[in-house]
Structure 1
């Protein structure tokens, strides 16, 4: 992709991000979940609460963002840090860097953490119920 195309795509992404920010600032993060998995099964998936968490974070409410999805609020900055070198290389027209340099064992470990979080946040006992979106 040529430099002009990269700049255009970046401007589009920034514009969409700004539109999402305006939308989020006008919405109440406490609104009920729209997660299909939750509506279908009544259970919380590992990602349940992330939309509301991002809305709360955009409004500067870090505590509620963490309450809606604690694991997501921990992993999201790590993901951005991991992808930043690739984005920087792409903007300069270089081949992307390998964003997450981890072994198969490490990747399976992260998958196990996410799956365990998904199971634990559905248990009805303290302290596990605190992992549900908004803490039950």
Structure 2
């Protein structure tokens, strides 16, 4: 794990800065106050853009634990609105609603039905307070055969 609101304070800029230590895919994990856990797969390091410009590939997905078992929502091909990263906004998906949109202080967020991933609301409510936000990176471990 590279970034966590519990460890590093509450700021999207801090999360973006910590993502520079990661390369390749990273998993954004967040939760609401009612116990749902959700997030999505992004490319790291996160690269903020000055304007709302979508990034990512069709490997991007979102997930939630809200509906009992964890549910994964992959890109539907409806559009290429994978995610937006700005210094004051991190949003996944598009077409109607963002699947998940985090604000600059990582205190509140929104989620709604999203065409990009064919997802429903990922949290208990469309507007909610965040309980936690974490960013996990994946390292490739090389093994040698003796």
TM-score normalised to structure 1 length: 0.26
Q: Give the number of the structure whose residues are more often helix, by fraction.
A: 1
Q: Larger relative contact order (C-alpha < 8 A, sep ≥ 6)?
A: 2
TM-score normalised to structure 2 length: 0.25
Q: Give the number of the structure whose residues are more often strand, by fraction.
A: 2
**Which of structures 1 and 2 has the bigger CA Rg?**
1
